């Protein structure tokens, strides 16, 4: 058996202290406690704790304890909800920081959900010539037509014998 304090097996130590181990496991653990000073120290401190709990006597209750308890419960039930929530918000450690963060989230969500979004419906788009848009992409058909036009102009110049001379 490995040492429960070194293995991190605190459940075995607590089960031994609470007397929840089987008789065989208890005998094995007691043999280990005789050899391991750390487990012996833990077992002794747990034994003292259990003895203190066994000897503890609660304070006696007053005769009118139940009546006072039920009257206090009724008084809490009669309070308005906003007072209950306000007390919980301020007195139970919530503070103003989480409330401020919740308010900011609410404002952001409200702005996102309730501000109308500008959506444009597409109308008939003007042609490229009307819009004055020059396309940087050239289609293969355009290149082919341009080359055919250049070839036709070259043939026209050759057939007419025109020479390009600057006009005076």
Q: How many domains does the chain have?
A: 2
Paired tokens of 136: 């940087």
Single residue among 17, 32, 55 that ends a domain in this structure: 55
- The answer as to whether 16 is a domain residue is yes
101-149 confidence digits (pLDDT tens): 888 999 998 888 887 766 666 566 555 555 555 556 778 888 888 888 8
- The answer as to whether 77 is a domain residue is yes
CA distance 107 to 116: 15
CA distance 45 to 104: 52
Helix (H, G, I), strand (E, B) or coil at 25: helix
- The answer as to whether 97 is a domain residue is yes
- The answer as to whether 104 is a domain residue is yes
Q: Look up the pTM and report it.
A: 0.36
Whether residues 10 and 37 fall in one domain: yes
- The answer as to whether 164 is a domain residue is no
Q: Which of 3, 84, 14 is nearest to 46 (CA)?
A: 14
Whether residues 34 and 77 fall in one domain: no
CA distance 106 to 100: 10
Whether residues 47 and 74 fall in one domain: no
Whether residues 49 and 81 fall in one domain: no
Structural domain of residue 51, as residue ranges? Answer: 4-55
- The answer as to whether 131 is a domain residue is no
CA distance 2 to 9: 9
Is the Cα torsion angle 91, 92, 96, 100 positive or negative in sign? negative
- The answer as to whether 118 is a domain residue is no
What would you measure as the largest C-alpha separation in the chain, in angstroms?
132
Q: Which of 33, 31, 11 is nearest to 21 (CA)?
A: 11
Residues contacting residue 17 through CB under 8 Å, at least 6 positions apart: 43, 46, 47, 49, 50
Paired tokens of 34: 């005789």
Whether residues 42 and 82 fall in one domain: no
Residue 69 — pLDDT band, cuts 50, 70, 90?
A: very high
CA distance 155 to 168: 26
Paired tokens of 44: 């002794």
User: What's residue 92's pLDDT?
Assistant: 63
- The answer as to whether 40 is a domain residue is yes
37-56 confidence digits (pLDDT tens): 888 888 888 888 888 888 98
């Amino acid at each position: 058996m490995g040492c429960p304090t070194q293995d991190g097996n605190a459940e075995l130590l607590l089960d031994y202290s609470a007397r929840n181990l089987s008789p065989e496991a208890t005998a094995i653990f007691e043999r280990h406690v005789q050899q391991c000073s750390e487990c012996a120290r833990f077992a002794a401190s747990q034994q003292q704790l259990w003895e203190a709990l066994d000897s503890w006597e609660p304070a006696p209750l007053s005769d009118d304890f139940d009546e006072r308890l039920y009257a206090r419960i009724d008084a809490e039930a009669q309070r308005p909800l906003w007072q209950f929530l306000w007390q919980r918000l301020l007195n139970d450690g919530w503070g103003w920081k989480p409330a401020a963060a919740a308010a900011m989230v609410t404002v952001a969500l409200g702005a996102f959900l309730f501000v109308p979004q500008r959506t444009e419906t597409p109308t008939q788009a003007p042609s490229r010539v009307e819009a004055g848009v020059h396309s940087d992409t050239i289609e293969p058909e355009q290149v082919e037509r341009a080359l055919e036009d250049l070839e036709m102009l070259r043939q026209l110049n050759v057939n007419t014998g025109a020479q390009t001379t600057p006009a005076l």
